[in-house]
Amino acid sequence: MIGGTGPESTVEYYRRLVAAYKARNPNGGAPPIIINSVDNENLVDWFTRNELAPVIEFLAAEIETLARARADFALIAAVTPHLVFDHLQQRARIPMLSIVEATADAAAKARLRRLALFGTRFTMQAALFPDAFERRGMTIVVPNEEEQEFIHEKYMGELFVGKISDETHAALIDIVQTMKQRNNVDGLILGGTELSLILRESRAARLPILDTTQIHVEAAIEWMLRP
């Protein structure tokens, strides 16, 4: 696992991976996981400046570290780096598990059709989720410009550094309610792994929440336990 991209969510990933593994193997111990925790400072700067080439070079090298450590497959414990996922998979010597594809599969299984997407500004403004969901006959709807600015500000200024605020939680729920009425969405995607730290409920405004962290974790355990 490539961690450190968001330290708080990396800890959450590990906790959930252990819990999911033990749920499948009650008599077993902890899952065998290699965590490569990277320095996220340059990554944030590169994404902010929309410089994706150095992101690819940096993460490709870190995934190679996992491959040399004899990992069977790799995942990135963050959503925004998936903007370069295809480039990374082409260069990696081991398979990579996409949080976007896993989430799209989960949404299709739940028979959802029109979903709101929360995340960093980079994620909300990218074609990453719309393309994956369109291939499965679903539509992604993003918040309006003002709402996106608010979500991104709270994401990077609070959630990314582990600050959880009741006021921010209530504001996020209000945006879901507004999008339900304005955009006729039938579900919400937590398109950022830190969002699962503040929106822990299974529904918001009576809409199902797709927790991408949990979906990714469960898919990872399936990969880990397959023959």
Spell out the domains of the chain, with CATH numbers in brackets: 2-98+215-225 (3.40.50.1860), 100-211 (3.40.50.1860)
User: What is the reported pLDDT for 198?
Assistant: 97
Residue 199 burial (CB count, 10 A): 21
**Model confidence at 212: pLDDT above 90:** yes
Burial (Cβ within 10 Å: 0-12, 13-18, ≥19) of residue 211: buried
**Model confidence at 29: pLDDT above 90:** no
H/E element, 56: helix 52-68
User: pLDDT tens-digit profile of 116-157?
Assistant: 999 999 999 999 999 999 999 999 999 999 999 999 999 999
H/E element, 166: helix 166-183
Contacts of 187 (CB under 8 A, 6+ apart): 107, 110, 112, 114, 115, 116, 207, 208, 209, 210
How far apart are the C-alpha atoms of 8 and 218, rounded to whole Å?
19
| 139-141 vs 36-37, strand pairing mode | unpaired
**Model confidence at 81: pLDDT above 90:** yes
65: tokens are 């570290």
Contact predicate 207/186, CB 8 Å: yes
Residue 203 burial (CB count, 10 A): 12
Rounded to whole angstroms, what are the CA distances from 81 to 26, 43, 112?
A: 33, 9, 25
Q: Of 35, 104, 43, nearest to 75 (Cα)?
A: 35
**Model confidence at 181: pLDDT above 90:** yes
Q: How confident is the model at residue 28 (pLDDT cuts 50, 70, 90)?
A: confident
Residue 135 burial (CB count, 10 A): 11
User: What is the reported pLDDT for 6?
Assistant: 87
Contacts of 11 (CB under 8 A, 6+ apart): none
Question: What integer is the mean pLDDT of 36-60?
Answer: 95
Q: Give the pTM.
A: 0.94
User: What is the reported pLDDT for 69?
Assistant: 97
How far apart are the C-alpha atoms of 73 and 63, rounded to whole Å?
9
Phi, psi at 180, each rounded to 5°: -60, -45
Q: How confident is the model at residue 25 (pLDDT cuts 50, 70, 90)?
A: confident
Contacts of 13 (CB under 8 A, 6+ apart): 1, 3, 77, 193, 213, 216, 217
The percent of residues above 90 in pLDDT, for the chain, comes to 94
Whole-number average pLDDT of the chain: 96
b vs e for 20-29, b when ≥16 Cβ sit within 10 Å of the residue's Cβ? Answer: bbeeeeeeee
